[in-house]
Structure 1
Amino acid sequence: MEWKRDWNLTTRVLLTGFLLFILYLVFMTILVIFLPGISIWFIIGLAVAMAGIQYFFSDKLVLWSTHARIVAKDEYPELYASVEKLSHEADLPMPKVAIMQSPVPNAFATGRSPRHAVVACTDSILRLLNKDELEAVLAHELSHVKNRDILTMTMASFVAMIASMIMQSFFFTALFGGNNRDNGAGWILVWIASIVVYAISTLLMLALSRYREFAADRGSALMTRNPQALISALGKISGRMEVVPPEAKAKIEGANAFFIIPALSGNTLMELFSTHPPIEKRIAALERISAEIQEY
């Protein structure tokens, strides 16, 4: 079965992006109406700069935060061979390969484009999964690369970054001078609007993140032609995650959006706002894809 776009999923992604764009226009209109003296372009420029740093240095930032290191081919020849084979299947350049020392079995991909991609695994996932299951996980991560999800999420976070900066009302009041301080009512309204916009944009981004996980699962199934391997891998990883000490998961919790399954320690509010769909829904979607493949 060829790599085929899931138009139902694509429609949801496009709709989420459209809603984020409308939210951006509404928020900019509120700023212009209630704070006519504020330098809108300065705020946008600052957000663009932050998004640029996030986009161009995402691979280095994620590797640094997870303590993952780039490894040579002779250090992990079997892992390299699997990534190389799958990259060829997906018509992608060979990414860098990294290993992360952690008892949490997981994997992630990062990088601003296919030519600057990194695929990383924890050492524990290499011991947990068999060859087919590991290849299914690697194919999932390479699907993120093929779908350019880093670019998608960076663009999606733009509205939230602007709203977040506006929420720092005292900082911006001081920064833009006395005229803005005199417009106290305008600042209060904009501050309230920024909270609402930040909350809505965050929920939309979380929805977009969940959609991209479904898309990556589908990409893995089509790339390996073995969705059952990914189903088995997800079951093993989630089962093992339940017995990993919370402190081990807490160390890498900040990078959960990148992992194939989030490592939730149970000590934060992150469990209330998931970046990933429930395992049960992912498995159900993979079962449907398995039926599709069998028809061909």
Structure 2
Amino acid sequence: MKRILLFVGTNIAVLLVLSITASILIRALGIEEMPGGLNLQSLIVFAAVLGFGGSFISLAMSKWMAKRATGAMVIEQPRNATEQWLFETVRRQAKQAGIGMPEVAVYDAPDINAFATGMKRDAALVAVSTGLLQSMDKDEAEAVLGHEITHVANGDMVTLALIQGVVNTFVIVLSRVVGYFVDRVLLKNERGYGIGFYVSTMVAQVVLGILASMIVMWFSRQREFRADRGGAKLAGREKMIAALERLKAAHEPAQLPDQMAAFGISGGREGGWKHLFMSHPPLDERIAALQQAR
């Protein structure tokens, strides 16, 4: 519950900052139509620049942020048999998937998890936790690596950034349209922007921000199903199912820093309304989808 509230709150805060920035820029550049109303075309352009800009700046910094957040150490030269196996398995799967060799890293954490990130398919990062290496056998770990390599091959990080940029843009624009409607049509204000515009814009932004988070998380869950199928193709369906079963059997859900949670392999244990804000489907659903696959 705490992670859900933090995720929603972070998205709303980002959108509020973007909206304030947009308002300042629009006023500073004099692109408002006063007193006629909003210059919608200019608003859309600025909303798109800000909405997509934030998403792609985060994506461009994702590898650096991931290493900093998790303390992941990139394997330059394997130091032991485990690192050698890990490095060679990623190399083989990357070749099978038709992508460049990613950076391979290990980070110190007791939970079973792994993630992939990066802006380019041929310059990504794949990292696994020490807990995964200690708790999974090689078949299960191979399936997890296949899952992460599939994320990279599918361009899932870029896709999610694009989706986030689209919904950010819509939230910024639609919240101002709502504010304009309330201020000019309902409250009959004809001189500039009144208090009705600012209050209704902020309220609309909160509501639309929550709906936007639900949309982004739905897309994130769909990409997890695709990555599971890709992992099954690269390593074998039974290995992928066994890996998910191992995650399900873990006593504690795997944890990643919040900015990296959507990129990990684990997640998704609760149902009900919380399901709407989960980046991963419940493990039972993922296992069932693989078992039913032909």
Q: 2:116 touches 2:125 (CA, 8 Å); kept in 1?
A: yes
- Cα 1:206/1:221, change in 2 over 3 Å: same
- Cα 1:180/1:133, change in 2 over 3 Å: farther
1:126-164 Cα shifts (integer Å, max 9, x gaps): 111111111100000000001100111101111443477
Q: TM-score, normalised by structure 1?
A: 0.72
Deviation of 1:49 after TM superposition, in Å, equals 2.5
2:237 alignment partner in structure 1: 227
Deviation of 1:48 after TM superposition, in Å, equals 3.1
Alignment of 1:227-266 (within 5 A): 227-240=237-250, 242-243=251-252, 249=255, 252-262=257-267
Aligned length in residues: 242
Deviation of 1:199 after TM superposition, in Å, equals 1.7
User: Looking at CA atoms only, which structure, 1 or 2, has the larger radius of gyration?
Assistant: 2
2:278 aligns to what SS in structure 1?
coil
Please provide the CA RMSD for this pair: 3.2
Partner Cα distance (2:200, 2:223) in 1: 34
Partner Cα distance (1:263, 1:100) in 2: 22
1:109-130 Cα shifts (integer Å, max 9, x gaps): 0011211111100011111111
2:130 alignment partner in structure 1: 123
2:186 alignment partner in structure 1: none
Deviation of 1:73 after TM superposition, in Å, equals 3.4
2:126 aligns to what SS in structure 1?
strand
2:132 aligns to what SS in structure 1?
helix
Match of 1:51 among 55, 77, 80: 55
2:280 alignment partner in structure 1: 276
Alignment of 1:1-296 (within 5 A): 36=38, 40=43, 41-75=45-79, 76-162=83-169, 182-224=193-235, 226-240=236-250, 242-243=251-252, 249=255, 252-262=257-267, 273-289=277-293, 292=294
- Cα 1:263/1:63, change in 2 over 3 Å: farther
The answer for unaligned runs of 5 or more in structure 2 is 1-31, 177-189
The answer for unaligned runs of 5 or more in structure 1 is 1-30, 170-178
Quick one: percent identity of the two aligned structures? 29
Q: 1:73 touches 1:80 (CA, 8 Å); kept in 2?
A: no
2:104 aligns to what SS in structure 1?
strand
After TM superposition, the structure 1 stretch with the greater mean CA deviation from structure 2, 39-48 or 204-213, is: 39-48
Q: 1:35 touches 1:186 (CA, 8 Å); kept in 2?
A: no
Deviation of 1:188 after TM superposition, in Å, equals 2.9
Partner Cα distance (2:191, 2:152) in 1: 44
Partner Cα distance (2:222, 2:198) in 1: 35
Partner Cα distance (1:155, 1:235) in 2: 32
1:21 alignment partner in structure 2: none
1:38-92 Cα shifts (integer Å, max 9, x gaps): 8624443222321221122221112222221212232311101111111121122
- Cα 1:87/1:78, change in 2 over 3 Å: same
1:213-256 Cα shifts (integer Å, max 9, x gaps): 000001111122x111111111212322x247xxx94x634421
